[in-house]
A and B are shown apart, each in its own frame.
Chain A
Amino acid sequence: MIASLHPPAHALELLEPVAESHGAPSPHSGSAMSAAFHSPSRRKPSVLHIFKIYYPDLFGGTLTVIHRICADLRESFSFSALVCTALGGARTIDVDGVPVERVRSLGDFLSLPMAPTYPFRLWRRMPRHDLCVMHAPFPLADLVLGFGFGRRQPFVVHWHADITTRSALRPIVQPFIRRTLRRASAIIVADEVLARETPILREFADKCRVVPFGIDVEKYIIPEAERAAIATAKRQNPGVVLACGRLVPYKGFDVLIHAAALGDFTVWIVGAGREQSYLEELAAELGVQDRIRLLGAVSDEHLVRLLHLAEVFVLPSVTDAETFGLAQLEAMAAGCAIVNTALNTAVPMVARHGIEAYTVPPRDPVALADAVTALLGDSETRQRFGEAGQQRAAACFSSQMFKSKIEDIYFESASPVPSRVEEPARAQERGLSIAGMARLAAVLAWSDVRHRYVRSILGPFWMSLQLLVTVGVLGAFTSQMTRTEPFGVLPTLAVSLTVWSFLNGVVLDAMNALPNAANLIKDRAVPPPVFLMQCFFRQALFALHNAIVPLGLWLAFGSLRIDNVVAALPGFLLFCGCALGLALTLGALATRFRDVKPIVESSLMLAFLASPVMWTAASSNPKALVLKLNPVTHLFSVWRQPLLDGTLAPESMALVVGLLAFLVAASGFALRQMRRAAFWI
């Protein structure tokens, strides 16, 4: 997939006849082939945005930037996003043509979404995209990337802010952020100041790329028809001071309300957030509730009208989390005079003190009140600041420039890098899914069984006869030892021996299966797991056939109750799952490591003697520690106990379920490792 982006240099060389070429060009080389080669490269690179939240859960600066990138660059890239949501709803939604996958979050902790499955989803999603864009700060993604997942995936960090507000977490997440940045092919920052003033970014100065946010200035100019209405509204609401942003602590709206209490002006605040009630109470407390209006979230068009209605725009942010202040840029584009704060970020660089704005110290309501009052009383300066701001927005922060710079960085970073090929692709090519492998394994196993019957003279019944004799002898023996009635133990003994020989056979066969199938694996590219599954099916067929012996004995000497058989089924399925898991795991392990086979063989022997196969736990001391610790005991008791008397020990069940879970995980690992099985045989 990645290779299709650009033809590799060597491949191009191959297209041209070189050195020893003779005669006319081949009908197959040249144009026809390069056409075939190039046509898929028209596919747009796929870019994944990684952030903690997205529309419609929240609106705000960072999200505006992501939304803008998706909208502006949709011609060049196909975008999608992976975010968290605490609201629930559909898992994948469409936001203006961008598919957004939302991972459920349990809520926020220190402004971090608690989404336990997010790292897993991220890990799964990353390889499917040509480029991942991580929007910092988002420590949850740092954890995934910092641990080295998706190592071969190209990605870019879009640095919106440092994690200042979560200083408690800093020592823990800082190393991961550093590792993430180390792996990123580029770090996009909105202003040079950020690259210079953020300590951790200074370590990666060579990777930092300054891309100022851009806005579409045209959008902020009021159409001729509406101007009269705006002027009327302005006369009705004179001297409005506007602020805009999410209602969160770092935005400093509380400082603005304090300033309003000190001065004498009306403040309208646009935006929603968790501080809403606190700000309302504060205004009431200070006795300025009639001059403070919290307007909530408003539409873009409405915001433009508000910006034109207002005399002064204030960005009162108090911490460096405010890295740029997109809101003030919008106000500048609308020709509004600005008051902002002297943060260590791009905020005072976007609207500069004395040119487009008055810059006051952060958290200083007195200075803020003074600056606002001064501007409100000086229409000439207001006019000057407004015009300068409009010019600066158009000249330095145009959306066109933003778009082309981002596009360049994405294209550079998404360019093909050699990467490990994904295994599922290969399985599809060969037309062999897990189900396909199982089918082939079943066919092979069936032919094994058929062959075995054809070869022996007594045919199918020879094996069963053997089992019958073994059961008879062992039954006589055990009944002597335990002084029980000989015919009573026979059915149990027969079924136990049948199942044991199944388990024993599966494990022993599986350890030899891959070397025996070496030529099919290496020369015919048959996936190795097929042969391990074959062992399982083959032994299952043998066992099924041998089941005639215990069934006959049970009918003759025991009382077979249907409800007991039904009760035994779940346990027996678990047992079969464990047998298959053992086949896959031990089969792979014994092929890779030659010393595993003798260990397993002797362990099986030991397990046969130390487990209640020939005898039942009840006939010895059921509390014996040796029995309790032996997993084979439990593997048998989960189906044999229900079969005998309808009871089931819960701890056996729990243990076997745990064992199965472990074997499923181990088998998954073994299946992945078996891609390399051809190296081992």
Chain B
Amino acid sequence: MSRVLLQDIVMDYPVLGAYDRSLKRLLFRRALGESRVKVVRALDGVSLAAASGDRIGLQGPNGSGKSTLLRLIAGVYPPTSGARDIRGAVMPLLGLGVGVNPDFTAEDNIRLLLRIGGHAFDQAVVDEIWDFTELDERARSLPLRTFSSGMQMRVLFGAATAFPTDILLLDEWLSVVDQKFSAKAEKRLRDLVSRADVVFIASHDRDLLNRVCTRIVTLDQGRIAGVATADARGRNELNLERLQA
């Protein structure tokens, strides 16, 4: 039984200017007893509860705290105050980074990504991921940096979505895959979503959230501005998908 429970989470993001980056200056300022690093309140009193079966969409303007909230759930950022209680394995798929090391071959990158995800796997899993990418077999042993960005995305997406997890955190993952690939990607993602216990999706795409989510939380300037349940049509569609899966 997975769950995510956030209570009165406040998170201050330190804004490190050039001066704050200097140890010499820090010691000097400490000696003078000057004030501390400037902070921006990225999350302000966020309380949220999600249990098994919840698919929660996060929407809001840029800088409203969507990604920060997902990173906080993932444990990347520590909360300044408030309680965070998370049960279950968390799989964060947040930024669109370039794999583990672009100099390594595509296959090595897949393997390392799976290792980082904490999964035990064999060659069959790697082959399955490679089939999913629909890329040429010869490209497997080429360094990842020689791939076009669309090809890189396919590899990373395939590796990241290969295993189900308890708590899945997604940040704009659907909107980036190219048109031709996107139908296939969305199906795979839906499959993953349907197998995860709790899913958080941050997106600007209201239609997508309506299709996938059971609840949509609107963030504004680090606060929860509103909560809505997705309409019935969207849910039915999701249930259909789940039956297929």
Q: Which residue numbers of A lie inside 8 Å of B, CB to CB? A: 1-4, 7-11, 13-15, 17-29, 32-33, 36-37, 416, 418-421, 423, 425-426, 429-432, 440, 443-444, 447-448, 451, 455, 519-526, 589, 592-596, 675-676, 678-680
Contact with A along B17-28 (1 / 0, CB 8 A): 000011110100
Complex alpha-carbon distance, A440 and B113, angstroms = 11
Q: How far is the CB of A458 from chain B (nearest CB, A)?
A: 18
Q: Are B76 and A595 in contact (CB under 8 A)?
A: no
- Closest B residue to A590 using CB positions: B23
Complex partner residue of A430 from B7, B51, B90, B96, CB under 8 angstroms = B90
Whether B5 lies near A11 (C-beta < 8 A) is: yes
Other-chain residue from B14, B23, B101, B231 in contact with A23 (beta carbon distance below 8 A):
B231
Could you pull out 14 A-B pairs where Cβ atoms are within 8 angstroms? Answer: A14-B48, A14-B227, A25-B229, A33-B53, A37-B49, A420-B79, A429-B86, A429-B89, A432-B118, A443-B112, A444-B115, A520-B97, A524-B92, A595-B23
Partner of B21, one of A14, A21, A595: A595
Q: Please, how many angstroms separate the alpha-carbon atoms of A4 and B5 in the complex? A: 8
- Is B84 close to A, CB under 8 A? yes
Residue contact B226 to A431, C-beta cutoff 8 Å: no
Question: Are B97 and A23 interface neighbours, CB within 8 A?
Answer: no
Q: Are B104 and A447 in contact (CB under 8 A)?
A: yes
B191: interface (CB < 8 Å): no
Interface centre among A17, A22, A26, A451 (most CB of B within 10 A): A26
Q: A14-B49, A416-B7, A593-B23 are in contact. Are A29 and B90 (CB under 8 A)?
A: no
Check B98–A519 contact: CB distance below 8 A. Answer: yes
> B61 within 8 Å of A by Cβ?
no
The CA-CA distance from A24 to B26 in the complex, in Å, is 58
Q: How far is the CB of A124 from chain B (nearest CB, A)?
A: 20
Cβ of A675: which chain B residues have Cβ within 8 Å of it? 78
The interface bits of chain B over 94-128 (1 if a CB of A lies within 8 angstroms of the residue's CB, else 0) are 11111011011000100110011110000000000
- A306 CB to closest chain B CB (Å) equals 52
Q: Which residues of A contact B77 (CB under 8 A)?
A: 676, 678-679
Given the complex of chains A and B, what is the CA–CA distance between A29 and B55 in angstroms? 10
* B232 engages A24 (CB within 8 Å): yes
Asked if A526 contacts B116 (CB within 8 A), the reply is yes
Chain B residues within 8 Å of A678, by CB: 71, 76-77
Provide the bound-state CA to CA distance between A11 and B51, in Å. 11
Per-position contact with A for B41-60: 1 when CB-CB < 8 Å, else 0? 00001111101111100000
Tell me if B163 is interfacial: C-beta within 8 Å of chain A: no
A32 CA to B76 CA in the complex, in Å?
30
From residue A1, how far is it (CB to closest CB) to chain B in Å? 7
Question: Which of A419, A429, A521, A589 counts the most B-chain CB atoms under 10 A from its CB?
Answer: A429
The reply to whether the CB of B74 lies closer than 8 angstroms to some CB of chain A is yes
Contact A523 to B92, CB < 8 A, known contacts A418-B81, A595-B22: yes
Question: How many chain B residues touch A (Cβ–Cβ < 8 Å)?
Answer: 73
- Chain A residues, CB < 8 A from B219: none
4 tightest A-B contacts by CB? A519-B97, A10-B47, A23-B232, A523-B95
Contacting residue for B101 out of A15, A21, A451, CB 8 A: A451
Residue numbers in A under 8 Å from B66 (CB-CB): none
Contact partner of B26 (CB less than 8 A), chosen from A9, A444, A523, A593, is A593
Tell me whether B232 and A440 are in contact (CB under 8 A).
Answer: no
Kindly list chain A residues whose C-beta atoms are within 8 Å of the C-beta of B1.
Answer: 36
The answer to whether A7 and B49 have CB atoms under 8 Å apart is yes
The verdict on B150 contacting chain A, using a C-beta distance below 8 Å, is no
Partner of B116, one of A18, A440, A455: A440
Q: How far is the CA of A3 from the CA of B88 in the complex (A)?
A: 16
- Of the candidates A4, A17, A430, A520, the one whose C-beta lies within 8 Å of that of B100 is A520
- Which residue of B13, B24, B49 has the most chain A CB atoms within 10 A of its CB atom? B49
CB-CB under 8 A from A14, the residues of chain B are: 47-49, 215, 217, 227
Question: B3 to nearest A CB, angstroms?
Answer: 6
Q: Which of A8, A13, A525, A594 contacts B75 (CB 8 A)?
A: A525
The winner among A22, A27, A448, A521 for most chain B CB atoms within 10 A is: A22
B51 & A37 in contact (Cβ 8 Å cutoff): yes
Interface hits, B60-85 → A, CB 8 Å: 71, 74-79, 81-85
Closest residue on chain A to residue B10 by CB atoms:
A418
Residues from chain B with a CB closer than 8 A to the CB of A416 are 7, 83
User: Which of chain B's residues have a CB closer than 8 A to the CB of A4?
Assistant: 5, 85
Q: Does B139 contact A (CB under 8 A)?
A: no
A residues near B103, Cβ cutoff 8 Å: 451, 455
Establish whether residues A444 and B100, one from each chain, have CB atoms under 8 Å apart when the complex forms. yes
Q: Considering the chains assembled together, what is the distance between the CA atoms of A18 and B218 in angstroms?
A: 12
B97 and A10 contact, CB distance less than 8 A: no
Q: Report if B228 contacts A (CB, 8 A).
A: yes
Query: Is B224 at the interface (CB under 8 A from chain A)?
Result: yes
B85→A519 contact, CB < 8 A: no
B188 within 8 A of A: no
For the complex, give the distance between the alpha carbons of A444 and B104 in Å: 11
Contact A426 B75, CB 8 Å, known A418-B83, A679-B13: yes
Contact B22 A593 (CB under 8 A): yes
Residues of B within 8 A of A595 (CB): 21-24
Q: Which residues of B have CB within 8 Å of A525?
A: 71, 74-76, 90, 92
Q: B8 at interface (Cβ–Cβ under 8 A)?
A: yes
Residues of A with C-beta under 8 A to B23: 589, 593, 595-596
CA gap between A14 and B46 in the complex, in Å: 11
Our pick among A10, A27, A447 for the contact of B112 (Cβ within 8 Å) is A447
Inter-subunit contact A33/B112 (CB<8 Å): no
Which B residues are CB-close (under 8 A) to A27? Answer: 53
Assembly CA distance A642 to B131 (angstroms): 57
A451: chain B residues within 8 A (beta carbon): 101, 103-104, 108
A420's contact among B48, B71, B81, B93, by CB below 8 Å, is which? B81
**Residues of B with C-beta under 8 A to A522:** 71, 76, 94-95
Picked from B75, B78, B100, B224, the residue with its CB within 8 Å of the CB of A10 is B224
* B211 interfacial contact with A, CB 8 Å: no
Docked pose: A525 CA to B6 CA in angstroms? 18
Check A440/B115 contact, CB under 8 A, given A20-B228, A418-B83, A680-B16.
yes
Residues from chain A with a CB closer than 8 A to the CB of B95 are 519, 522-523
Interface membership of B214, Cβ < 8 A: yes
Q: Scoring B residues 197 to 238 as 1 if CB is less than 8 Å from chain A, else 0, what string do you get?
A: 000000000000000001101000000101111111101000
Please tell me if the beta carbons of A26 and B24 are within 8 angstroms of each other in the complex.
Answer: no
Bound-complex Cα distance A432 to B87 (A): 14
A26 touching B76 in the complex, CB below 8 Å, given contacts A418-B81, A418-B82, A679-B16 = no
